[in-house]
Structures are given as C-alpha cells and as structure tokens.
Structure 1
Amino acid sequence: MRVTKFEHSALAIDESGQTLVIDPGAFTRPLGSLTSVAAIVITHEHPDHWTAAQLESLLDSNPEARILGPLGVATAAGKAGFTVETVADGDTVEVGPFTLRFAGTTHAVIHSSLPTIDNTGVLVNGTLFHPGDSFTVPEFPVAVLATPVGAPWLKIGEAIDYVTAVAPGSILPIHEATLSDVGFAMHADRLKAAVEGVGGTSTVVAAGESIEL
C-alpha cells in the first residue's frame, strides 16, 4: 500500500492499481490529475478537508468514484450537488481493494461558542488510521496513525496525549498548514518523542512524497 502525503490533511492511498483519496481540502493542491480513484473519504465538513472544486476536479477525472462521509458531510456536499454515502462510527465499507472501517462521531472542540460537528475517522486496510479533526482513540489496533500536528482545536500537549493513548506502531504527521516550518518541526519532534515512548516510530513525509506501508 503506497501513501502519498499532500498538503495539510490530504492523503492518496494506492493499492492494486486503484486510489483512495482522503480529505482533499482548500489548503491542498488541486488533485484532479489523480486517476483510478475508487473513492473519496471526507472526515468532516470543514473546507480545509473538502471543497466543491476539489470534488468536481476529481470526479471529472474519475466519474465512478464514490464519496463517503458522515451525515454533516452528506448534508453540506449534498447542497453543492454531490452524492455522499453516509457512514458512521462502527461502519465497514468495501470499495475496490480498500476495506474502510470508520470510527469516531464528533470533531474536537474548538471553542464552547462554536457548534460541534460530525467527524468520522477511517482505518484503511487495517493499517492506516486517519482521524480527521479528532482525538478518537479507536477500539482496534493502529499500525500507522495519521497524526494532526497543528490546528485551532489542538494543543501539542493534547496531540502527545493522543499518540500515547493510541500507541500506534508509527505516526505520519498531517494537518500542518496552520504552522510555520519552524513550528511544524518543533511539533513533529515532540510527537516523535511521544511515539518512541510507546515503542513506535515517526515518519515525516513532505507534501507530494510517498511512503510504502
């Protein structure tokens, strides 16, 4: 399974000639050049995780691609004319070579004055867990945790606690667009120390680069 990291929270996962895209949002380069896309998973409705332009571009190149997300995504994207298959905590969906197991219900709290929206993370092929914007600790083991490192809802201490609670075999830092290069390096180093403390490793992948899992 090949994972390509794009800007911010977007990942493309390739398996057996097909591609799964997760969270193609406003802080990510246009992804319409991707082909053989079987599905697009959107963890929640915030625009840094999906935009109509990103979906239109991907569907132009991949008209049969399925879009999956929680109810909030289905409602928001539905208003823009997209059909979204609603998924929720505990669901498992098979799409081509991908087994998608969903976990989590709500976005992490940004502030008490703001509404808490739907957020559902996804485990891909029993290996990589993308939590969206949440600190969801899934009931299943996680080999690779795509770990948010910077956000209005996140303190680095909370991210360290999250890594420790999940205790993954490895972390892949994501959700970095709100940080400077210096800030990202500092946060990534803190999380590296955290995951090493539970016997894991950290792999920092630059936008546009790939790793094999």
Structure 2
Amino acid sequence: MEVTKLEHACQVVTLGGARLVIDPGGFTRPVEATGVVAVVVTHEHPDHVTPEQVAGILARNPGAVVLGPAGVARVLPDVDVEVVTGGDHRSVGPFELTFHGTRHNVIHRSVPVVDNTGVLVNGRLFHPGDAYTVPDVPVEVLAAPVGAPWLKVAEMMDFVAAVAPRRAYPVHEATLSDIGLDMHVGRLREAVAPTGSVVVLAPGESLTI
C-alpha cells in the first residue's frame, strides 16, 4: 500500500491499482487520479472537500463511492454520499475502512462544531481529519495535522503520543509558513520519538506502508 500526500489534508492511497482519495479540498490541486474506488471526506469544511473536487474525481471515476459524515452530504447535495460515523466499517475494493470519532475539534466558542469522522485504512493508516480522536486499535502510520485554527501544538503532541504510531507524517500544513512548519514538525518528531519516526512528505511524494 502506498500513500501519496497532496497539498494540505488530501491523500491518495494506492493498492493493487485501486485508489482511495481522502479529503480533496480547496487547498489542494485538482485531484486527477484514475482507478479511484472511493472518496472519503472526514468533514464538511472547504479545505477538506469542495463540490468541484468531488465532481472532477467522479467524472474520471464514475463508479467511485463517496463516504463521509452527515455534514458532508449536506455540502454535496448533488452527490450520493454514503453517511458514516464513528464505529462504522466499510469494504470498498481492496480497502477496509473503519471510522473513528464524531466531532470536529473546537475552533472557538463562536464557531459551530461540525461532524468529523477519521478513517483507518486497512488497519494501518489513520487520517483523523480535524480532531484528536485516538482509535481503540494500534495505528502503524498516522497522518498528523500540524497547523490549524483549532490546533495547539501541546495538544497535538499529546494526541500523537496517545496514538503512538510507528511512523507519522505531517499534514494540514497550508496555514503555516516554512519556518512555522519546521517548528511544528520538530515538536511532532519529539512526540513520535518514543514509538517511531517522522517522514516529511512534500506534495506529490509517497510513502510505502
């Protein structure tokens, strides 16, 4: 299994010629992948999903299914979204997907808290979306958010330490400058060090899992 990181929160997971797209949002280049069997959206915010991105993916991959929490269905009214939430399980092509968590982290008391459900792919790769949900199963590889309006570095480090992955790579970095990203990645390395290591992927680079 191979995961390719695109800009910000978007990832493309490839296994045996089939692809899974996670969180194709507006901070990401148009996703032009073929062989896509499913699109998983963790929540409705536009940096994680836009109708244009999903429409483009489905135009190239008309058989692909779209999965996400109820809020995603509301922002994609022209798409048949299969609603999932924490505790659900789905099999799509070669991908076994389990879903964890129900709510987005708090941004501010004035900002509504939306649905957010992270996805564990084939029991190995966990993408939490915008939440500090810790799965109740071991995580081999963690896509670790490192920059966001809702994110405090100390809390990020506690989350990563609780997940205790063997490997992690930073995501959700578009809000950071290069200097800020380097600083946050340094803290991520400290949090992962007791159990594993950090790999920094530039957009378009891949990691074999």
Instruction: Indicate the TM-score class for this superposition, using the shorter chain for normalisation.
Output: over 0.9
- Partner letter of residue 63 of structure 2? E
Residues in 1 aligned to 2:152 and 2:177: alpha-carbon distance in whole angstroms: 15
The structural deviation recorded for 1:76 is 1.8
The structural deviation recorded for 1:194 is 1.0
Query: Corresponding residue for 2:69?
Result: 70
Among candidates 159, 184, 187, match of residue 187 of structure 1: 184
- Cα deviation, 1:57-116, whole Å, max 9, x if unaligned, reads 1111001110000011112212xx111000010011000000000000000000011111
Q: Tell me the SS of whatever aligns to 1:168.
A: coil
The structural deviation recorded for 1:211 is 1.1
1:1-213 equivalences under 5 Å are 1-31=1-31, 33-78=32-77, 81-196=78-193, 198-213=194-209
The structural deviation recorded for 1:153 is 0.1
- Partner letter of residue 167 of structure 1? A
Report if aligned partners of 2:51, 2:75 keep a CA contact under 8 Å in 1: no
Moved over 2 A (4+): none
Residues in 2 aligned to 1:28 and 1:203: alpha-carbon distance in whole angstroms: 20
- Cα deviation, 1:141-199, whole Å, max 9, x if unaligned, reads 11011100000000111111111111111111100000001110110011011100x22
In structure 1, runs of 5+ residues without a counterpart are none
Q: Tell me the SS of whatever aligns to 1:19.
A: strand
Residues in 1 aligned to 2:100 and 2:114: alpha-carbon distance in whole angstroms: 15
User: Normalization by structure 2: what TM-score?
Assistant: 0.99
- Cα deviation, 1:23-50, whole Å, max 9, x if unaligned, reads 000000001x210000000000000000
Q: Tell me the SS of whatever aligns to 1:139.
A: coil
Residues in 2 aligned to 1:121 and 1:133: alpha-carbon distance in whole angstroms: 8
- Partner letter of residue 84 of structure 2? V
Q: Tell me the SS of whatever aligns to 2:188.
A: helix
- Partner letter of residue 28 of structure 1? T
Q: Tell me the SS of whatever aligns to 1:188.
A: helix
Residues in 1 aligned to 2:75 and 2:79: alpha-carbon distance in whole angstroms: 9
User: Aligned pair count?
Assistant: 209
Q: Tell me the SS of whatever aligns to 2:56.
A: helix
- Cα deviation, 1:106-128, whole Å, max 9, x if unaligned, reads 00000011111100000000100
In structure 2, runs of 5+ residues without a counterpart are none
Residues in 1 aligned to 2:90 and 2:169: alpha-carbon distance in whole angstroms: 23
Residues in 1 aligned to 2:2 and 2:167: alpha-carbon distance in whole angstroms: 15
Residues in 1 aligned to 2:204 and 2:11: alpha-carbon distance in whole angstroms: 9
Residues in 1 aligned to 2:65 and 2:166: alpha-carbon distance in whole angstroms: 30
